[in-house]
Chain A
Amino acid sequence: MESSSDNNFKSKRIVFVTVGTTSFDSLVRSVDTDQVKEELSKKGYTHLVIQMGRGSYIPKKSSGEDGLLVVDYFTFSSSIADYLRSASLVISHAGSGSIFETLRLGKPLIVVVNEDLMDNHQSELAEELAERKHLFCAHPQTLYQVIQSLELESIIPYHPGDATPVAKLINRHLGFPAD
């Protein structure tokens, strides 16, 4: 028993779910379904950590006795970066902050677009980056299918952008000499 829990600890593979500063109940609800949890388990993930923000839907906690996922949740944390770093897979809302923080850490990422938002320009970014194969894009209803057909090998690593062209243009416009 003890050795098995030791093994568990060594091969800990965490799925981290983050909804950002607002609420995104439909994502949390979708992650919390048996279907999704089973699929994650089948893919070899052992832990599910949910940052649920201001959401009102409370997921079921589980300590993973029956060989299923260990599930835990919290509302907010100042150390989201640590959770991201410890994760093997990140499922995130479509905010640009979360997206680029995860990509920069080189973690596999599934972005779930919130369809309840009024002016939904957020999906633009997620879809564009999905087209470039930096991440996977899903909706709360399609999350299960996306996880099922997850191919981490197809991901193209994201190379951080560079702000120097902007600085150069501004300098030139202002008549500063080029360096």
Chain B
Amino acid sequence: MGRDKAKVKGKGKASDSNELTEMGVDMKGIKDRIDKILQIASERELWKQKESDMRVLAVDTSNMTGDELQVILAMKEEVKKHYSNPSLTTFAASHTGDPSPISAPDIRSPAPAPATDFSFYGLSGVCQIQCKPICNTSSKHLSTLIVLGSGGHTAEMINLLSVMQNDRFAPRFYIAAVTDNMSLQKARVFENTLADKISLQVSDSTKFMQIYRSREVGQSYITSIGTTLFALCHALWLMLKIRPQVILCNGPGTCIPLCAIAFIFKVLGIRWSYIFYVESIARVKRLSLSGLLLYKLHMADQLFVQWPQLQKQYPRAHYVGRLM
């Protein structure tokens, strides 16, 4: 039932996703196609970005006072500065009408859309960036995927999100397991309180999604082979759709397929996503299986632990103190 639903959902761009299932048969062809899909997506993203920038410029400030006015003025200034950059004039000019296809070099140009900077680097690019991971992101915001675990995991994640600069980490995509009906609700409550603080509506760009799990508690191992494959495909589909620049996760296993795909994308040069993993506070002496996988395979850009004992055992981890 749920499976059918996902298939139907995928039908929108059915040709793309069907082609993807040939993965492993013809990697080169697939990569080209993925590139093409990503290119189309980034064009859309560019267009969306421009649209929201124009909306900022159009905001009427005559009735505003105090902080609100300051914020809006600063945003306008930012947008104006952004479009006065000479390298972007072609971009701005070509986007006065309908979103029209733009050529690949345009997308590569330095500043326009935050989403595209690392998209088209090859493997050499991956290595190059790996040497100096700090890029100039001062004026940008990064699309962020937040993987919610369950119960205690979600509570810890919300605690973390509440101290992060939510204007930098936007748009935000929340993912929780299909069987977990509490976590997304908690995320919605959190987003609502954020919106209340700046007296705005929850942004349309914030999305809440569900992901199929590879194995439910008590499921037999034979059927779990099928569900695992299915869950992987679903994760791949979601990752292609979201293409996050930042992935925040803190276990349990739900985040593994997503992180693995992000890592493969990175290696293939399809997409550069920073992966941050925060080990649960419940882990005092040993890392969880998810944490261990991300640590041993160097998949996480940074791995945080909440107890000093753990940091001694896993020196590459960062000790950050308790989140709860």
* A and B physically associate: yes
Interface of A is mostly: helix
* Chain B residues numbered 278-324 whose CB sits less than 8 Å from any CB in chain A: 278, 280-286, 288, 301-302, 304, 306-307, 318, 320-324
Choose among B142, B246, B274, B320 the residue that contacts A166 (Cβ–Cβ < 8 A). Answer: B320
Least CB distance from A20 to B in Å reads: 8
Q: Please, which residues of chain A bring their CB within 8 A of the CB of B306?
A: 161
Apart from A100-B324, A162-B323, A174-B137, 8 more pairs, CB < 8 Å: A96-B155, A161-B159, A163-B162, A167-B160, A169-B304, A172-B134, A173-B302, A176-B168
Instruction: Determine the interface band of chain B, counting residues with CB < 8 A from chain A.
Output: 35 or more
Q: Please, which residues of chain A bring their CB within 8 A of the CB of B301?
A: 173
Once the chains are docked, how many angstroms separate the CA of A128 from the CA of B284?
7
Tell me whether A175 and B164 are in contact in the complex, defined as CB-CB below 8 angstroms, given that A100-B324, A169-B304, A170-B302 are known contacts. no
Tell me whether A161 and B321 are in contact in the complex, defined as CB-CB below 8 angstroms, given that A124-B282, A124-B283, A170-B276 are known contacts. yes
Whether B220 sits at the interface, judged by CB under 8 Å, is no
Q: Is the CB of A174 within 8 A of B142?
A: yes
Least CB distance from A105 to B in Å reads: 13
Q: Please, which residues of chain A bring their CB within 8 A of the CB of B320?
A: 163, 165-166, 169
* Chain A residues numbered 14-52 whose CB sits less than 8 Å from any CB in chain B: 21
Whether A95 sits at the interface, judged by CB under 8 Å, is yes
* Chain A residues numbered 90-123 whose CB sits less than 8 Å from any CB in chain B: 95-97, 100, 121-122
Q: Please, which residues of chain B bring their CB within 8 A of the CB of A125?
A: 281-284
Once the chains are docked, how many angstroms separate the CA of A173 from the CA of B133?
7
Chain B, Cβ-Cβ closest to A96: B152
